[in-house]
Structure 1
Amino acid sequence: MQGNKIVNDLNFPDTDAHDGADDHETRTQEPRLWRDDGWTARVIKNGDDDGWAVEMIKDGEAEPALVGPWTMGRDKKNPKPLDSAAFFTLVKTASEVLRRHEQQLHALLHKNIKVTSASGLLDIKLDIVPDEDNPYALLSACDEFGEQLAQVRVGTGFKLTMQSATAWIENDFKKPA
């Protein structure tokens, strides 16, 4: 079946068609569809207006990492074709969007505060475990050498602040109420 492509009503190659090659080796370079380096760029009709948009989908993901406006061609009706430089820029931008989402999620789930106590500088951490059935958080204390001094399970609503960390230390690391 190599060389044959299934085409849908919009003249886009069928994304489910597979010629048996490894997905990472599949490379498509068409005016409205590029696949390479684990990414797919697809030029689509912009549902909000008469223009065009491009979506970037990372292999294995159901949703696009990036959707943005796409330039009209010279005829002012059809989209400008994708090219190597545009694809490279789109991959870089979409990768950065994913990286920022990961950083934001990490910041939401992991917090830490440095607290000076009678026993020295302590690193107090709150790590939220987003389990679907039973989410929880772990509150832990480590000394300046990284050795864990205490760890307790707390609710996901626990707020790690300098005041709550200090109170936990002063209460001999007993589970906060």
Structure 2
Amino acid sequence: MTEPTTDSDILPLQEDRLWRDDRWTARVIKNEEDDGWAVEMTRHGDPEPALVGPWTMGRDKKNPKPLDAPAFSTLVKTAAEVIRRHEQQLHATLNKSVTVTARDDRRVRVALSIVPDEDNPTATLTAYDDADDSELASVSVSPAFKLTASSASAWIESDYARPR
């Protein structure tokens, strides 16, 4: 039985259609959609490429242009940015907050944090004093809970009773 490959086992490689460093692999592949070429960038340990895009034809107009250091560096930066944007979008989807004014004129920030899980997703609604960021209350809610200014205000006015 072979051991799984770890990042420390991955050796750098620099071939015309395959470049690899300690974190990324760039592979030039035949473009399935036309007669051209594509390049895929995969972060080590990820199941799928972070980036797949068109690749330039070589001078003979049949074969792909070979990978080189500047192209690999640009591809790494682009793929890392794609991953960073995806992570930011996921974070924004799972973490929302609104700030409302309570009856006592105190500003309260209400945050909804969802923990995704295929079998049992959870969510927590938390109120913070906007002045000093101290926690005022926290309750479990359905991951389907819709956080709006009016739902936050209603929760505060109920003395932080768990919303239905």
The answer to whether the 8 A contact 2:17-2:27 is kept is yes
Q: Which residue in the other structure is 1:168 paired with? A: 155
Check if 1:46 corresponds to 2:31. Answer: yes
Q: TM-score, normalised by structure 1?
A: 0.85
Unaligned runs of 5+ in 1: 1-17
Matches within 5 A, 1:1-177: 22-23=8-9, 26-117=11-102, 118=104, 120-143=106-129, 144-177=131-164
Structure-2 separation of matches of 1:46 and 1:38: 24
* Structure 1: distance between partners of 2:134 and 2:152: 17
Q: Measure, in 1, the Cα distance between the counterparts of 2:119 and 2:99.
A: 31
CA distance in 1, matches of 2:72, 2:54: 14
Unaligned ranges ≥5, structure 2: none
Whole-angstrom distance in 2 between the partners of 1:68 and 1:93: 11
Residues 35/120 of structure 1: CA separation in 2 closer, same or farther (3 Å cut): same
Distance (whole Å) between structure 1 residues aligned to residue 125 and residue 46 of structure 2: 33
Q: Which 4+ residue blocks in structure 1 deviate beyond 4 angstroms?
A: none
Matches of 2:136 and 2:19 in 1, distance apart? 53
Identity of aligned residues (%): 63
Q: Over aligned residues, Cα RMSD in angstroms?
A: 1.6
Query: How many Å separate the matches in 1 of 2:37 and 2:124?
Result: 47
Q: Distance in 2 between matches of 1:60 and 1:175?
A: 40
Aligned length: 158
The higher-RCO structure (CA 8 Å, 6+ apart) is 2
Structure 1 162/21 Cα, relative in aligned 2: closer, same or farther at 3 Å?
closer
SS in 2 for 1:158: coil
What TM-score comes out, normalization by structure 2 length?
Answer: 0.91
